[in-house]
């Protein structure tokens, strides 16, 4: 365990005017350090490690979609959570990715200090890199605690971001099919 991180949390408590020696806070710096390390464990993972060779031959050249992948991340500006869902699609060109690997790729990037726009692009580019797909689409919808708990304090706001690569960017029909299948097309 990183005792330096724990020491920093101790100083944060003091800076807030708290007494880190009071009963309820005695172990808080260490608990907070462990929690932060867990919430940011994406830094310790690589794409190769996460995919672990789970790429399989397939004649399928139709859209593959994994919807409603829950994600939890931390805003790099305020260190507050944003929570939401990712919808990921790709069009295979001879190989398909193991189903759980799509969710693991989402988690690897979400478990880093992030902004949603970059997270969306990182996931899309990683899927493209691994699968060499004809196209990749990623839509993320999330609620941001930095907007809900502080600042403008808007409780019902949801941010949507999307990245379309290859066929999803080039073909309105392909993009529209994806958006309809995830329930976002009009």
| Residue 40 annotated as lining a ligand binding site | no
Strands across the sheet with 113-114, in order? 113-114, 64-75, 81-91, 135-144, 159-166
- Three-state DSSP class for residue 183: coil
The length of the chain, given as a count of residues:
186
Find the distance separating the first CA and the last CA of the chain, reported in whole Å. Answer: 50
Catalytic residues: 75-78, 116, 144, 146
Taking Cα atoms as reference points, which of 156, 170, 168 lies closest to residue 184? 168
CB 160 within 8 A of CB 154: no
Up-side HSE of residue 29: CA atoms within 13 Å toward CB? Answer: 20
Query: Which of 184, 56, 185, 163 has the alpha carbon at shortest distance from 109?
Result: 163
172 labelled as ligand-binding? no
DSSP 43-105: GG--HHHHHTT-EEE----S-EEEEEEEEEEEETTT--EEEEEEEEEEE-SSEEE-HHHHHHH
Per the annotation, does 75 bind a ligand?
A: yes
Annotated binding-site positions for Zn(2+): 75, 78, 146
Q: Indicate the annotated binding residues.
A: 75, 78, 146
């Amino acid at each position: 365990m990183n005792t330096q991180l724990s020491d920093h949390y101790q100083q944060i408590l003091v800076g807030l005017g708290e007494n880190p020696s009071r009963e309820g806070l005695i172990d808080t710096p260490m608990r907070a350090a462990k929690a932060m390390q867990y919430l940011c464990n994406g830094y310790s993972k690589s794409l190769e490690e996460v995919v672990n060779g789970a790429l399989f031959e397939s004649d399928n050249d139709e859209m593959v979609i994994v919807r409603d992948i829950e994600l939890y991340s931390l805003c790099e500006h305020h260190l507050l959570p944003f929570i939401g869902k990712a919808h990921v699609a790709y069009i295979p060109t001879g190989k398909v990715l193991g189903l759980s690997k799509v969710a693991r790729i989402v988690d690897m990037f979400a478990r880093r200090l992030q902004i949603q726009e970059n997270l969306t692009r990182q996931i899309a580019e990683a899927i493209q890199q691994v699968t060499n797909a004809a196209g990749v689409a990623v839509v993320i919808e999330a609620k941001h605690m930095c907007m809900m708990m502080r600042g403008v304090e808007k409780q019902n706001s949801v941010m949507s971001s999307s990245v379309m690569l290859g066929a999803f960017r080039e073909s309105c029909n392909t993009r529209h099919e994806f958006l309809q299948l995830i329930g976002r097309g009009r």
